[in-house]
Structure 1
Amino acid sequence: MTDASHDSPRSRRSNAPTLCWTVLLLVGVGAVILAVREPATDLPFAEIRVGRDPRPFFPETPPPRVTLEEFRRFLTLQTVLVRSPRVLTAALRNPELANLEILKTNTRPSDWLEQHLEVSIRDEGYIRVSLRGVDRKHALEAARVINAVVEGYLIEEVARAGMERRERLSDLQEVLKRRERETEKKQQRLETLSAQVGPSGRAQGANQRFAERLQREHARVRFAILQQEMTLDESSQDLVEATESEELAELLKRLDHIQTALDEVDASGGRNHLFNAELGRLRNDIKTSKQLTQRLSKELEYQEIDIENSPNRITLFRKADPI
C-alpha cells in the first residue's frame, strides 16, 4: 500500500514541472557551450585563402613540397601578420573608415581595433577575419573595418614580401653574373698557362732525360779536368805543360757550357713547377666557382617559383558583407 501511494497520479504531476525545468536547463547549457565553441555567424567576416604547395615554375622541375607542419606554421604566421601594427595602421588610414561610429570610443582606434579584431584558422588553408564584441546594428561598419584590415594585410604584408623576394632575386642574379665573369677569367688564365707549359707529361720527361745527359757529361768533363790538373802538377816539361794547359782550358770551357745548360734546365723546371702549381690552384678555383654557380642557379629557380606563385598562394576568398 505504501509503495503504491508513492506512484500516485498526484505524485507524477508534482514531478513534471521539475523535469521540464531540468530539460530546459540542459538545453540552455548546451546552447551556451555551442555559442562558446562556434563563433557567431550573424556578424560579418572575411576569409583569406592560403595555398599549401606552390605550382612548378618550370614544367620539368617539380615544386618543393611543403609538409603539413610547415604549412600550419605558415598559416599561424599569417594570422600574426594580419594583426601586425603595420596592417592595422594601414587599415585605419583607409578613407572608408572615416567617421565610423564603432571607432568613436574612449580608446584610440588602433587600440580598439587590436582588442576587437579576431583572426583564426578555420579550415585547412583558410583564415577568417572578424570583429568580436560589436553590436549587430553596426554590422555595416564592422564589414568596412574587416575589409580594410584584409586589404591592408594583402598590401602591406603579402605585396611587400613579394617586393622583398624580387629584390633578393635581383641581388642573387647580380652575384651569379659576377661569379660567372670571375670563372670565365680564370678559365682564360688556365688556357694561357696550359699553352705555355705545353703537354706536361712529355715536356717534363724530355727535360728530365736531357738533364740526366748533361749531368753525365758534366761528371765526365769534371773528371777529365781533375786528370789534367794532376798531370800538370807532375810534369815539368814546358811543351807538355803548354799542350795540356790548352786541353785544360778547353775542358773548362766545355764544363762552363754544360753548367749553363744545366742551369737553364733547372730554371725551366722551376718555372714549370710554378706554372703547374698555379694551374692546380686555378682548376680548384674553377671547380668551386662552378659548384657555387650551380647552387646560385638552383636558389634563383626557387626564388622565381616563389615569386610566380606568391600572388596566387594568398588571395582574398570572401569579402566581409553585412549579414
Structure 2
Amino acid sequence: MKPLAYVRAGSLDEATAAHAAHEDARYLAGGTNLVDLMKLGVESPATLVDVSRLPLDGVEELPDGGLRIGATVRNSDLAAHPLVRRRYPALSQALLAGASGQLRNVATTGGNLLQRTRCPYFQDLSKPCNKRAPGSGCGARDGVHRDHAVLGHSPGCIATNPSDMAVALAALDAVVELHGAEGERSVPVTEFHRLPGEHPELDTVIRPGELITGVVLPSAAAGLPSLYRKARDRASYAFALASVAAVLDLDGDGTVRRVAIAFGGLAHRPWRARLAEAALLGAAPDDERIARAVDAELDQAQPLRDNAFKVPLARNLARRALTELAARPAPPAGA
C-alpha cells in the first residue's frame, strides 16, 4: 500500500503552504473526480490537502448586481440558489443536467472546473495517453473516439472537457478567482481551460499550488435570457455528446444587442462560438440568420472517423436554443 499524507487546512495560506511543503500534493474538496482517479491509479498523490472546510462555501451578491460563488459551494446548492435561478438560469440548468442528485450534493464549484476528461484511454493505465503519460501517444485517435473532440484538437489529444457547468460559465463571461504563493489573480473562464496543442497533459492555466477560491458572475449578464441544452446517449445522467449554453438579449427593434454562445462536448475546453456571435450581433435573429451564424462556427470542425455526427447534432442544438431565446417576450422595463 502506498503511504498517503493528509492535511486539513484551516486557512487559504495554510492550504497553499501545505501544498508547497509536500511533494506531489493535491487539493481535496468533494473528491468526486479525484478519488475516482486515485482508485483507477491515474492519480497517485503523496499528500491530500483538504480544503473542504475553508470559508469558501457562500454565494455573495456583489454591489454591482453580480454574484461571487465560493469554490466549495456544492453543485446542488448552487443550482437551487434563487439568485442563480433568476439571474443566470443557464447555470442552474447546466448543473441540474450534469450529474445525479447524490453527486451534486458532494461536488463543488472549484472541483467541477478542474474535473478531468472521461476519455477511456486516459482512465485505462494499459492504454497510451499523452494526457496521462506525455509522449506515449493518443490511443483514441485510431481507436474508439465516438465521444471525442471535433474542434480544437491536436495530433496529440482528442479528449473533451466533461463539465456542463463550465459551458454555462463560459457563455456568462464568468471569471475564476485564484489564490497562490504569488498572491491573488483572476482568469476569465473562457481562458481558464487550455486546448491540447503540444501539451495535452495541461488541462488549465492554473499554476502549481494555486487554489480556486471562487467564481464571479458579472452583472452584465444578470437577468438576460439564457439557457443550457444538452444531448446525451440516455435520458438519465450522462456526459454530453454535444451541449450549448446561450445568452441572447434583443434591442427594442428586435435586433441582437448581446449574444454569447458556448458549446460543450466538442473540444478540450468549453468552446466559445465567437464567429457565430459576430454574425448575429446587430442583426435580427430570424431562422436564416441563426442558421448561417451557427454554420459559420461549425464549419471549423474537423471530425474524425466516428464522430462526424456531432457536428449536425451541435448545429441543431444551437439553432433551437437561439430560436427559443429569440422568441421569448422582452422582459418588462426595469426587470
- Asked if Structure 1 and Structure 2 have the same fold, meaning a TM-score greater than 0.5 normalized by the shorter chain, the answer is no
TM-score class, shorter: under 0.3
Which protein has greater RCO, CA pairs closer than 8 Å, 6+ apart? 1
Q: Which has the higher helix share?
A: 1
Which has the larger strand fraction?
Answer: 2
* TM-score (norm. length: structure 2): 0.20
TM-score, structure 1 normalization: 0.20
- The structure with the largest alpha-carbon Rg is 1
